[in-house]
Structure 1
Protein backbone atom coordinates (compact mmCIF):
# COMPACT_ATOMS: atom_id res chain seq x y z
CA UNK A 1 0.00 0.00 0.00
CA UNK A 2 1.44 3.35 -1.00
CA UNK A 3 0.58 6.81 0.13
CA UNK A 4 0.15 9.84 -2.14
CA UNK A 5 2.58 12.71 -1.56
CA UNK A 6 -0.35 14.90 -0.47
CA UNK A 7 -1.17 12.46 2.35
CA UNK A 8 2.46 12.11 3.43
CA UNK A 9 2.87 15.87 3.46
CA UNK A 10 0.09 16.24 6.07
CA UNK A 11 2.08 14.16 8.58
CA UNK A 12 5.02 15.43 10.60
CA UNK A 13 7.94 13.26 9.49
CA UNK A 14 11.10 13.23 11.56
CA UNK A 15 14.35 11.28 11.62
CA UNK A 16 16.61 11.46 14.67
CA UNK A 17 14.55 14.48 15.65
CA UNK A 18 15.10 16.40 12.39
CA UNK A 19 11.85 17.40 10.71
CA UNK A 20 11.67 16.64 7.00
CA UNK A 21 10.60 19.38 4.60
CA UNK A 22 7.07 18.37 3.49
CA UNK A 23 7.18 20.44 0.30
CA UNK A 24 6.98 18.71 -3.10
CA UNK A 25 10.62 19.53 -3.92
CA UNK A 26 11.87 17.57 -0.91
CA UNK A 27 9.29 14.84 -0.30
CA UNK A 28 7.87 12.33 -2.78
CA UNK A 29 6.22 8.97 -3.11
CA UNK A 30 8.14 5.71 -3.35
CA UNK A 31 6.66 4.11 -6.47
CA UNK A 32 5.99 0.34 -6.50
CA UNK A 33 6.93 -2.01 -9.30
CA UNK A 34 3.63 -3.03 -10.93
CA UNK A 35 2.66 -6.65 -10.39
CA UNK A 36 2.43 -7.22 -14.14
CA UNK A 37 6.07 -6.26 -14.71
CA UNK A 38 7.79 -8.33 -12.06
CA UNK A 39 8.65 -11.30 -14.27
CA UNK A 40 10.40 -9.10 -16.83
CA UNK A 41 13.91 -9.39 -15.43
CA UNK A 42 15.63 -7.15 -18.04
CA UNK A 43 13.06 -4.43 -17.31
CA UNK A 44 13.60 -4.84 -13.56
CA UNK A 45 17.35 -4.46 -14.04
CA UNK A 46 16.84 -1.28 -16.08
CA UNK A 47 14.54 0.12 -13.42
CA UNK A 48 17.02 -0.81 -10.71
CA UNK A 49 19.83 0.96 -12.57
CA UNK A 50 17.63 4.03 -13.02
CA UNK A 51 16.16 4.23 -9.50
CA UNK A 52 18.69 2.37 -7.35
CA UNK A 53 15.88 0.37 -5.74
CA UNK A 54 12.83 -1.82 -6.35
CA UNK A 55 9.71 -1.60 -4.20
CA UNK A 56 7.81 -4.90 -4.39
CA UNK A 57 4.57 -4.77 -2.38
CA UNK A 58 3.07 -8.13 -1.45
CA UNK A 59 6.20 -10.11 -2.35
CA UNK A 60 5.77 -12.51 0.59
CA UNK A 61 2.66 -14.08 1.98
CA UNK A 62 1.91 -11.73 4.92
CA UNK A 63 1.57 -14.78 7.19
CA UNK A 64 5.26 -15.54 6.61
CA UNK A 65 6.53 -12.29 8.07
CA UNK A 66 3.77 -12.00 10.66
CA UNK A 67 4.70 -15.47 11.89
CA UNK A 68 8.32 -14.47 12.35
CA UNK A 69 7.25 -11.23 14.04
CA UNK A 70 5.26 -13.25 16.56
CA UNK A 71 8.18 -15.65 17.13
CA UNK A 72 10.57 -12.71 17.68
CA UNK A 73 8.47 -10.94 20.31
CA UNK A 74 7.46 -14.17 22.04
CA UNK A 75 11.13 -15.08 22.47
CA UNK A 76 11.85 -11.63 23.92
CA UNK A 77 8.75 -11.41 26.13
CA UNK A 78 10.69 -12.46 29.28
CA UNK A 79 12.94 -9.40 28.87
CA UNK A 80 10.09 -6.96 29.41
CA UNK A 81 10.24 -5.63 25.84
CA UNK A 82 6.49 -5.91 25.28
CA UNK A 83 3.73 -4.53 27.49
CA UNK A 84 2.43 -6.93 30.16
CA UNK A 85 -1.11 -8.12 29.51
CA UNK A 86 -0.84 -7.69 25.72
CA UNK A 87 -0.30 -10.34 23.08
CA UNK A 88 3.49 -10.35 22.56
CA UNK A 89 2.92 -11.01 18.88
CA UNK A 90 1.41 -7.55 18.57
CA UNK A 91 4.72 -5.97 19.57
CA UNK A 92 3.28 -3.32 21.90
CA UNK A 93 6.15 -1.59 23.68
CA UNK A 94 6.48 -1.72 27.45
CA UNK A 95 7.98 1.08 29.50
CA UNK A 96 11.69 1.37 28.83
CA UNK A 97 12.60 1.27 32.53
CA UNK A 98 11.39 -2.33 32.93
CA UNK A 99 13.53 -3.73 30.10
CA UNK A 100 16.21 -6.25 31.04
CA UNK A 101 18.74 -5.21 28.42
CA UNK A 102 21.33 -7.87 29.18
CA UNK A 103 18.78 -10.67 28.93
CA UNK A 104 17.48 -9.17 25.69
CA UNK A 105 20.98 -9.12 24.20
CA UNK A 106 21.58 -12.73 25.19
CA UNK A 107 18.35 -13.97 23.62
CA UNK A 108 18.70 -11.83 20.50
CA UNK A 109 22.32 -12.59 19.67
CA UNK A 110 22.60 -16.15 20.98
CA UNK A 111 19.19 -17.55 20.04
CA UNK A 112 17.27 -15.49 17.48
CA UNK A 113 20.02 -14.22 15.16
CA UNK A 114 21.76 -17.60 14.69
CA UNK A 115 18.48 -19.52 14.90
CA UNK A 116 16.84 -21.71 12.28
CA UNK A 117 13.68 -19.56 12.15
CA UNK A 118 15.58 -16.44 11.09
CA UNK A 119 17.73 -18.36 8.62
CA UNK A 120 14.61 -19.85 7.02
CA UNK A 121 13.10 -16.39 6.57
CA UNK A 122 16.27 -15.04 4.98
CA UNK A 123 16.49 -18.03 2.64
CA UNK A 124 12.80 -18.05 1.75
CA UNK A 125 12.46 -19.96 -1.55
CA UNK A 126 10.69 -17.07 -3.27
CA UNK A 127 13.46 -14.67 -2.29
CA UNK A 128 16.20 -17.05 -3.42
CA UNK A 129 14.43 -17.64 -6.73
CA UNK A 130 14.07 -13.89 -7.28
CA UNK A 131 17.78 -13.24 -6.69
CA UNK A 132 18.85 -16.14 -8.88
CA UNK A 133 16.92 -14.57 -11.74
CA UNK A 134 17.72 -10.95 -10.94
CA UNK A 135 21.46 -11.53 -10.42
CA UNK A 136 21.63 -14.06 -13.23
CA UNK A 137 23.23 -16.89 -11.28
CA UNK A 138 22.27 -20.07 -9.46
CA UNK A 139 25.33 -19.63 -7.21
CA UNK A 140 24.19 -17.07 -4.68
CA UNK A 141 25.89 -15.92 -1.50
CA UNK A 142 23.87 -14.70 1.48
CA UNK A 143 25.99 -12.70 3.89
CA UNK A 144 25.84 -14.28 7.33
CA UNK A 145 25.77 -10.86 9.00
CA UNK A 146 22.01 -10.26 8.86
CA UNK A 147 20.50 -7.47 10.94
CA UNK A 148 17.24 -7.31 12.90
CA UNK A 149 16.05 -3.94 14.20
CA UNK A 150 13.26 -3.13 16.62
CA UNK A 151 12.52 0.51 17.38
CA UNK A 152 9.93 1.51 19.93
CA UNK A 153 7.70 4.55 19.61
CA UNK A 154 9.06 7.65 21.26
CA UNK A 155 12.67 6.48 21.24
CA UNK A 156 14.70 9.56 20.40
CA UNK A 157 18.19 10.91 20.05
CA UNK A 158 20.85 10.76 17.37
CA UNK A 159 21.41 7.19 16.26
CA UNK A 160 18.01 5.75 17.19
CA UNK A 161 16.67 6.03 13.67
CA UNK A 162 19.02 4.86 10.93
CA UNK A 163 21.15 7.80 9.83
CA UNK A 164 21.66 8.59 6.15
CA UNK A 165 24.20 6.31 4.51
CA UNK A 166 24.80 4.04 1.53
CA UNK A 167 25.73 0.41 2.03
CA UNK A 168 29.03 0.32 0.13
CA UNK A 169 30.79 2.20 2.92
CA UNK A 170 30.22 -0.84 5.14
CA UNK A 171 31.15 -3.40 2.49
CA UNK A 172 34.26 -1.99 0.83
CA UNK A 173 36.19 -5.25 0.99
CA UNK A 174 33.74 -6.95 -1.37
CA UNK A 175 31.90 -6.32 -4.62
CA UNK A 176 29.85 -3.17 -5.17
CA UNK A 177 27.24 -5.39 -6.83
CA UNK A 178 25.95 -6.63 -3.48
CA UNK A 179 22.17 -6.14 -3.23
CA UNK A 180 20.29 -5.42 0.00
CA UNK A 181 16.81 -6.59 0.98
CA UNK A 182 14.89 -4.55 3.54
CA UNK A 183 11.91 -6.47 4.87
CA UNK A 184 9.37 -4.90 7.23
CA UNK A 185 8.35 -7.62 9.68
CA UNK A 186 4.75 -6.57 10.08
CA UNK A 187 2.93 -3.50 8.83
CA UNK A 188 5.15 -0.42 8.86
CA UNK A 189 3.16 2.72 8.07
CA UNK A 190 4.98 6.01 7.83
CA UNK A 191 4.35 6.88 11.47
CA UNK A 192 6.08 3.64 12.54
CA UNK A 193 9.41 4.72 11.04
CA UNK A 194 10.14 2.84 7.80
CA UNK A 195 13.13 3.14 5.49
CA UNK A 196 13.19 6.11 3.09
CA UNK A 197 15.36 6.80 0.03
CA UNK A 198 17.05 9.93 -1.35
CA UNK A 199 15.88 10.04 -4.95
CA UNK A 200 18.59 9.63 -7.57
CA UNK A 201 21.40 9.82 -5.01
CA UNK A 202 23.07 6.64 -6.30
CA UNK A 203 24.02 8.39 -9.53
CA UNK A 204 25.82 11.16 -7.62
CA UNK A 205 27.46 8.70 -5.22
CA UNK A 206 28.74 6.56 -8.10
CA UNK A 207 30.30 9.59 -9.77
CA UNK A 208 31.86 10.84 -6.54
CA UNK A 209 33.13 7.36 -5.64
CA UNK A 210 34.80 7.10 -9.05
CA UNK A 211 36.31 10.57 -8.79
CA UNK A 212 37.28 10.26 -5.13
CA UNK A 213 35.51 13.51 -4.29
CA UNK A 214 33.01 12.35 -1.68
CA UNK A 215 32.55 14.99 1.01
CA UNK A 216 31.24 12.49 3.54
CA UNK A 217 32.75 9.05 2.95
CA UNK A 218 32.12 7.91 6.52
CA UNK A 219 29.67 5.11 7.30
CA UNK A 220 26.88 7.34 8.57
CA UNK A 221 26.81 10.46 6.45
CA UNK A 222 24.56 12.53 8.68
CA UNK A 223 21.47 12.49 10.87
CA UNK A 224 20.38 15.78 9.30
CA UNK A 225 18.18 14.47 6.48
CA UNK A 226 16.72 17.87 5.52
CA UNK A 227 20.20 19.31 4.98
CA UNK A 228 21.22 16.30 2.90
CA UNK A 229 18.18 16.73 0.66
CA UNK A 230 19.22 20.34 0.10
CA UNK A 231 22.80 19.32 -0.64
CA UNK A 232 21.67 16.78 -3.26
CA UNK A 233 18.71 18.91 -4.41
CA UNK A 234 16.60 15.77 -4.12
CA UNK A 235 13.43 14.37 -2.56
CA UNK A 236 13.14 11.83 0.22
CA UNK A 237 10.85 9.08 -1.08
CA UNK A 238 8.42 7.62 1.46
CA UNK A 239 5.54 5.18 1.65
CA UNK A 240 3.49 3.05 4.00
CA UNK A 241 4.72 -0.54 4.03
CA UNK A 242 2.61 -3.62 4.75
CA UNK A 243 3.53 -7.09 5.99
CA UNK A 244 4.77 -9.02 2.96
CA UNK A 245 6.40 -6.06 1.20
CA UNK A 246 10.03 -6.19 0.04
CA UNK A 247 12.51 -3.41 -0.72
CA UNK A 248 15.55 -4.19 -2.83
CA UNK A 249 18.31 -1.59 -3.12
CA UNK A 250 21.83 -1.26 -4.42
CA UNK A 251 25.05 -0.39 -2.63
CA UNK A 252 25.16 3.27 -3.71
CA UNK A 253 21.73 4.74 -2.95
CA UNK A 254 21.44 6.89 0.16
CA UNK A 255 18.75 5.81 2.59
CA UNK A 256 17.74 6.34 6.21
CA UNK A 257 14.75 5.69 8.46
CA UNK A 258 12.09 7.80 10.07
CA UNK A 259 11.39 8.02 13.78
CA UNK A 260 8.68 5.79 15.22
CA UNK A 261 5.69 7.91 16.28
CA UNK A 262 3.14 5.10 16.31
CA UNK A 263 0.19 6.33 18.39
CA UNK A 264 -0.68 2.82 19.59
CA UNK A 265 2.75 2.00 20.97
CA UNK A 266 3.65 -0.55 18.26
CA UNK A 267 7.31 -1.48 17.85
CA UNK A 268 8.75 -1.33 14.35
CA UNK A 269 10.51 -4.59 13.48
CA UNK A 270 12.49 -5.11 10.28
CA UNK A 271 15.44 -6.97 8.86
CA UNK A 272 18.04 -6.15 6.26
CA UNK A 273 20.00 -8.89 4.53
CA UNK A 274 22.37 -8.99 1.56
CA UNK A 275 22.75 -11.27 -1.44
CA UNK A 276 25.33 -11.29 -4.20
CA UNK A 277 26.72 -13.61 -6.84
CA UNK A 278 29.03 -16.12 -5.14
CA UNK A 279 31.58 -15.56 -7.91
CA UNK A 280 32.01 -11.88 -6.98
CA UNK A 281 34.44 -10.69 -4.31
CA UNK A 282 32.97 -11.31 -0.84
CA UNK A 283 33.62 -9.03 2.14
CA UNK A 284 34.87 -11.54 4.69
CA UNK A 285 34.07 -9.25 7.61
CA UNK A 286 30.37 -9.95 6.96
CA UNK A 287 30.61 -13.73 7.31
CA UNK A 288 29.90 -13.90 11.04
CA UNK A 289 26.53 -13.55 12.75
CA UNK A 290 25.53 -9.98 13.52
CA UNK A 291 26.28 -8.63 16.98
CA UNK A 292 26.01 -5.08 18.26
CA UNK A 293 29.68 -5.17 19.23
CA UNK A 294 31.05 -6.64 16.01
CA UNK A 295 32.64 -3.31 15.03
CA UNK A 296 30.87 -3.02 11.67
Structure 2
Protein backbone atom coordinates (compact mmCIF):
# COMPACT_ATOMS: atom_id res chain seq x y z
CA UNK A 1 0.00 0.00 0.00
CA UNK A 2 1.39 3.39 -1.04
CA UNK A 3 0.28 6.55 0.74
CA UNK A 4 0.99 10.27 0.49
CA UNK A 5 -0.02 12.61 3.32
CA UNK A 6 -2.16 9.72 4.53
CA UNK A 7 -4.11 9.29 1.27
CA UNK A 8 -3.95 5.76 -0.18
CA UNK A 9 -3.00 5.61 -3.85
CA UNK A 10 -5.11 3.35 -6.07
CA UNK A 11 -2.97 0.54 -7.48
CA UNK A 12 -5.01 -0.26 -10.57
CA UNK A 13 -3.21 -0.11 -13.95
CA UNK A 14 -5.26 2.98 -14.81
CA UNK A 15 -3.96 4.90 -11.78
CA UNK A 16 -0.45 3.63 -11.03
CA UNK A 17 2.54 2.75 -13.20
CA UNK A 18 6.33 2.77 -13.23
CA UNK A 19 8.59 5.63 -14.27
CA UNK A 20 10.51 4.78 -17.43
CA UNK A 21 14.30 5.33 -17.29
CA UNK A 22 16.03 6.78 -20.31
CA UNK A 23 17.46 3.88 -22.37
CA UNK A 24 21.25 3.76 -22.60
CA UNK A 25 21.06 4.27 -26.37
CA UNK A 26 19.52 7.72 -25.82
CA UNK A 27 21.69 8.95 -22.98
CA UNK A 28 24.17 10.75 -25.27
CA UNK A 29 21.62 11.81 -27.90
CA UNK A 30 20.62 15.36 -27.01
CA UNK A 31 17.81 15.59 -29.56
CA UNK A 32 16.31 12.30 -28.37
CA UNK A 33 16.47 13.51 -24.76
CA UNK A 34 14.69 16.76 -25.63
CA UNK A 35 12.02 14.83 -27.52
CA UNK A 36 11.55 12.58 -24.50
CA UNK A 37 11.40 15.54 -22.08
CA UNK A 38 8.77 17.30 -24.20
CA UNK A 39 6.75 14.09 -24.46
CA UNK A 40 7.00 12.87 -20.85
CA UNK A 41 7.88 16.00 -18.87
CA UNK A 42 10.73 14.18 -17.12
CA UNK A 43 14.02 12.35 -17.70
CA UNK A 44 14.76 9.46 -15.36
CA UNK A 45 18.55 9.13 -15.53
CA UNK A 46 19.36 5.98 -13.60
CA UNK A 47 22.95 5.66 -12.40
CA UNK A 48 23.85 9.15 -13.61
CA UNK A 49 26.02 9.98 -10.58
CA UNK A 50 28.70 8.06 -8.74
CA UNK A 51 26.80 6.46 -5.82
CA UNK A 52 29.74 7.21 -3.51
CA UNK A 53 29.25 10.94 -4.15
CA UNK A 54 25.69 11.03 -2.85
CA UNK A 55 26.26 8.51 -0.05
CA UNK A 56 29.17 10.58 1.27
CA UNK A 57 26.99 13.69 1.33
CA UNK A 58 24.31 11.69 3.16
CA UNK A 59 26.91 10.82 5.78
CA UNK A 60 28.02 14.45 6.05
CA UNK A 61 24.43 15.71 6.45
CA UNK A 62 23.35 13.35 9.23
CA UNK A 63 26.71 13.56 11.03
CA UNK A 64 26.45 17.36 11.09
CA UNK A 65 22.97 17.14 12.64
CA UNK A 66 23.60 14.27 15.06
CA UNK A 67 24.01 16.62 18.04
CA UNK A 68 20.44 17.92 17.56
CA UNK A 69 18.84 14.57 18.36
CA UNK A 70 17.86 13.96 14.73
CA UNK A 71 19.85 10.73 14.44
CA UNK A 72 19.71 7.66 16.68
CA UNK A 73 22.66 7.87 19.13
CA UNK A 74 25.46 5.42 18.36
CA UNK A 75 24.20 4.66 14.85
CA UNK A 76 26.21 5.19 11.67
CA UNK A 77 25.16 8.62 10.31
CA UNK A 78 25.06 7.25 6.75
CA UNK A 79 22.15 5.01 7.78
CA UNK A 80 20.09 8.06 8.75
CA UNK A 81 18.17 6.28 11.52
CA UNK A 82 15.75 8.69 13.16
CA UNK A 83 16.59 9.59 16.74
CA UNK A 84 13.11 8.98 18.10
CA UNK A 85 13.54 11.43 20.96
CA UNK A 86 13.08 15.19 21.29
CA UNK A 87 14.71 17.31 18.59
CA UNK A 88 16.60 20.48 19.54
CA UNK A 89 14.87 22.57 16.89
CA UNK A 90 16.98 25.66 17.49
CA UNK A 91 20.25 23.77 17.03
CA UNK A 92 18.76 21.94 14.05
CA UNK A 93 17.77 25.14 12.21
CA UNK A 94 21.08 26.83 13.00
CA UNK A 95 23.14 23.90 11.73
CA UNK A 96 21.02 23.34 8.62
CA UNK A 97 20.72 26.92 7.43
CA UNK A 98 23.99 28.41 8.71
CA UNK A 99 26.34 25.46 8.14
CA UNK A 100 25.00 22.78 5.77
CA UNK A 101 23.12 24.83 3.15
CA UNK A 102 26.00 27.28 2.46
CA UNK A 103 28.70 24.60 2.88
CA UNK A 104 31.44 23.77 0.40
CA UNK A 105 30.27 20.14 0.57
CA UNK A 106 26.78 21.00 -0.64
CA UNK A 107 28.07 23.33 -3.34
CA UNK A 108 30.46 20.64 -4.57
CA UNK A 109 27.61 18.15 -4.84
CA UNK A 110 25.27 20.47 -6.74
CA UNK A 111 27.99 21.79 -9.03
CA UNK A 112 29.62 18.42 -9.68
CA UNK A 113 30.73 18.13 -13.33
CA UNK A 114 28.33 15.22 -13.85
CA UNK A 115 25.57 17.72 -13.08
CA UNK A 116 26.84 21.14 -14.18
CA UNK A 117 28.51 19.94 -17.36
CA UNK A 118 25.56 17.73 -18.19
CA UNK A 119 23.19 20.71 -18.07
CA UNK A 120 25.58 22.82 -20.17
CA UNK A 121 25.67 19.99 -22.73
CA UNK A 122 21.92 19.46 -22.61
CA UNK A 123 21.08 23.16 -23.00
CA UNK A 124 23.97 23.56 -25.45
CA UNK A 125 24.66 26.89 -23.77
CA UNK A 126 26.09 28.57 -20.70
CA UNK A 127 24.02 27.64 -17.66
CA UNK A 128 23.06 29.11 -14.31
CA UNK A 129 22.54 27.13 -11.10
CA UNK A 130 20.00 28.77 -8.81
CA UNK A 131 21.56 29.50 -5.43
CA UNK A 132 18.37 28.49 -3.60
CA UNK A 133 18.75 24.72 -3.30
CA UNK A 134 16.58 22.63 -1.01
CA UNK A 135 17.50 19.61 1.15
CA UNK A 136 14.70 17.53 2.66
CA UNK A 137 14.64 14.63 5.04
CA UNK A 138 11.49 12.75 6.04
CA UNK A 139 11.34 10.41 9.02
CA UNK A 140 9.08 7.33 9.10
CA UNK A 141 6.95 8.63 11.95
CA UNK A 142 5.92 11.79 10.07
CA UNK A 143 2.31 11.37 9.00
CA UNK A 144 -0.63 13.47 7.89
CA UNK A 145 -1.15 16.54 5.75
CA UNK A 146 2.00 18.59 5.24
CA UNK A 147 4.59 15.86 5.81
CA UNK A 148 5.03 14.38 2.34
CA UNK A 149 5.44 16.84 -0.54
CA UNK A 150 2.00 17.75 -1.86
CA UNK A 151 1.11 17.76 -5.56
CA UNK A 152 2.50 20.85 -7.27
CA UNK A 153 4.45 22.03 -10.29
CA UNK A 154 7.57 24.15 -9.94
CA UNK A 155 6.65 27.13 -12.11
CA UNK A 156 4.23 28.51 -9.50
CA UNK A 157 7.29 29.20 -7.33
CA UNK A 158 9.48 30.53 -10.19
CA UNK A 159 7.29 33.05 -11.99
CA UNK A 160 9.84 35.89 -11.93
CA UNK A 161 12.17 34.12 -14.38
CA UNK A 162 12.23 31.80 -17.38
CA UNK A 163 9.58 29.10 -17.62
CA UNK A 164 12.21 26.85 -19.19
CA UNK A 165 14.09 26.26 -15.95
CA UNK A 166 14.74 22.55 -15.28
CA UNK A 167 14.78 20.90 -11.88
CA UNK A 168 16.99 18.00 -10.85
CA UNK A 169 15.85 15.88 -7.94
CA UNK A 170 18.67 13.85 -6.40
CA UNK A 171 18.02 10.93 -4.02
CA UNK A 172 20.77 11.09 -1.40
CA UNK A 173 21.05 7.37 -0.87
CA UNK A 174 18.74 4.53 -1.90
CA UNK A 175 15.07 5.49 -1.77
CA UNK A 176 12.90 2.42 -2.32
CA UNK A 177 9.16 2.99 -2.54
CA UNK A 178 8.65 2.54 1.21
CA UNK A 179 11.03 5.40 1.96
CA UNK A 180 8.88 8.00 0.21
CA UNK A 181 10.39 8.97 -3.13
CA UNK A 182 9.15 11.46 -5.71
CA UNK A 183 6.16 10.52 -7.90
CA UNK A 184 4.95 12.16 -11.11
CA UNK A 185 1.45 12.64 -12.53
CA UNK A 186 1.61 11.20 -16.04
CA UNK A 187 1.01 13.73 -18.82
CA UNK A 188 0.22 16.54 -16.39
CA UNK A 189 2.68 18.95 -18.05
CA UNK A 190 0.39 19.07 -21.08
CA UNK A 191 -2.69 20.39 -19.29
CA UNK A 192 -0.57 22.64 -17.07
CA UNK A 193 1.04 24.19 -20.17
CA UNK A 194 -2.36 24.66 -21.80
CA UNK A 195 -3.85 26.32 -18.74
CA UNK A 196 -0.75 28.47 -18.24
CA UNK A 197 -1.03 29.73 -21.83
CA UNK A 198 -4.64 30.72 -21.19
CA UNK A 199 -3.79 32.42 -17.91
CA UNK A 200 -6.01 30.18 -15.81
CA UNK A 201 -3.27 29.22 -13.34
CA UNK A 202 -1.88 32.63 -12.41
CA UNK A 203 -2.64 32.25 -8.72
CA UNK A 204 -0.31 32.72 -5.70
CA UNK A 205 2.36 30.06 -5.22
CA UNK A 206 0.74 27.03 -3.61
CA UNK A 207 0.47 23.29 -3.85
CA UNK A 208 -2.45 21.89 -5.83
CA UNK A 209 -3.59 19.29 -3.30
CA UNK A 210 -2.48 16.66 -0.81
CA UNK A 211 -5.10 14.27 -2.26
CA UNK A 212 -3.03 12.45 -4.88
CA UNK A 213 -5.59 9.74 -5.69
CA UNK A 214 -8.31 12.36 -6.14
CA UNK A 215 -6.12 14.37 -8.52
CA UNK A 216 -5.40 11.28 -10.65
CA UNK A 217 -9.14 10.53 -10.81
CA UNK A 218 -9.96 14.10 -11.80
CA UNK A 219 -7.54 13.99 -14.75
CA UNK A 220 -8.03 10.28 -15.53
CA UNK A 221 -4.32 9.54 -15.39
CA UNK A 222 -1.68 7.65 -13.39
CA UNK A 223 0.91 8.38 -10.74
CA UNK A 224 4.33 7.16 -11.85
CA UNK A 225 6.54 5.59 -9.19
CA UNK A 226 9.86 3.76 -8.87
CA UNK A 227 12.52 2.48 -6.48
CA UNK A 228 15.42 4.95 -6.64
CA UNK A 229 19.01 3.94 -5.98
CA UNK A 230 21.98 6.10 -5.04
CA UNK A 231 23.28 7.69 -8.24
CA UNK A 232 19.86 8.08 -9.90
CA UNK A 233 18.58 11.57 -10.75
CA UNK A 234 15.30 12.95 -12.06
CA UNK A 235 15.29 15.95 -14.41
CA UNK A 236 11.87 17.49 -14.91
CA UNK A 237 10.20 20.49 -16.49
CA UNK A 238 8.69 23.32 -14.49
CA UNK A 239 5.21 22.25 -15.62
CA UNK A 240 4.90 18.60 -14.61
CA UNK A 241 2.92 17.86 -11.44
CA UNK A 242 4.83 15.83 -8.85
CA UNK A 243 4.65 14.95 -5.17
CA UNK A 244 6.15 12.41 -2.77
CA UNK A 245 5.03 9.27 -0.99
CA UNK A 246 5.01 8.85 2.77
CA UNK A 247 8.04 7.28 4.41
CA UNK A 248 6.81 3.98 5.86
CA UNK A 249 10.22 2.39 6.47
CA UNK A 250 10.02 -0.06 9.37
CA UNK A 251 13.71 0.31 10.22
CA UNK A 252 13.50 4.00 11.10
CA UNK A 253 15.54 5.15 8.10
CA UNK A 254 15.07 8.75 6.98
CA UNK A 255 14.64 9.72 3.37
CA UNK A 256 17.10 12.38 2.25
CA UNK A 257 17.04 14.22 -1.06
CA UNK A 258 17.86 17.56 -2.65
CA UNK A 259 16.31 19.48 -5.51
CA UNK A 260 18.26 22.01 -7.54
CA UNK A 261 17.51 24.10 -10.63
CA UNK A 262 19.48 24.94 -13.76
CA UNK A 263 18.60 27.13 -16.72
CA UNK A 264 20.24 28.93 -19.63
CA UNK A 265 22.29 31.82 -18.24
CA UNK A 266 21.00 34.22 -20.90
CA UNK A 267 17.31 33.80 -20.02
CA UNK A 268 15.46 35.74 -17.29
CA UNK A 269 16.45 34.52 -13.80
CA UNK A 270 14.06 34.63 -10.86
CA UNK A 271 15.86 36.96 -8.45
CA UNK A 272 14.12 35.39 -5.43
CA UNK A 273 16.05 32.17 -5.99
CA UNK A 274 19.49 33.77 -5.85
CA UNK A 275 19.99 33.53 -2.09
CA UNK A 276 20.56 30.42 0.00
CA UNK A 277 17.45 28.51 0.96
CA UNK A 278 15.97 29.34 4.36
CA UNK A 279 12.60 28.41 5.81
CA UNK A 280 11.89 32.13 6.34
CA UNK A 281 12.63 33.14 2.74
CA UNK A 282 8.93 33.37 1.83
CA UNK A 283 8.97 30.82 -1.02
TM-score > 0.5 by shorter chain? yes
Distance 2:20 2:221 in 1: 15
Partner of 1:228: 215
Distance 1:114 1:22 in 2: 41
Partner of 1:245: 232
TM-score by length of 2: 0.98
Distance 1:126 1:174 in 2: 25
2:117 aligns with one of 109, 125, 129: 129
2:86 equivalent to 1:93: no
1:65 aligns with one of 25, 36, 54: 54
Alignment coverage as a number of residue pairs: 283
Native 8 Å contact 2:157 2:205 kept in 1: no
Distance 1:234 1:215 in 2: 23
Distance 1:18 1:212 in 2: 30
Distance 2:163 2:201 in 1: 16
Shift, 1:215, TM fit: 9.6
TM-score by length of 1: 0.94
Superposed CA deviations along residues 137-195 of structure 1, whole A, max 9, x for unmatched, are: 0x211000000000000201211100000000000000000000000000000000000
Partner of 1:110: 98
2:68 equivalent to 1:79: yes
Shift, 1:214, TM fit: 3.8
Superposed CA deviations along residues 48-74 of structure 1, whole A, max 9, x for unmatched, are: 000000001100110000000000011
**Please, which runs of 5 or more residues in structure 2 have no aligned partner?**
none
2:244 aligns with one of 245, 251, 257: 257
RMSD across aligned positions (CA)? 1.1
Shift, 1:126, TM fit: 1.1
2:277 equivalent to 1:290: yes
Where does 1:1-296 land on structure 2 (aligned, <5 Å)? Answer: 12-95=1-84, 97-137=85-125, 139-214=126-201, 218-296=205-283
3-state SS in 2 of match to 1:64: helix
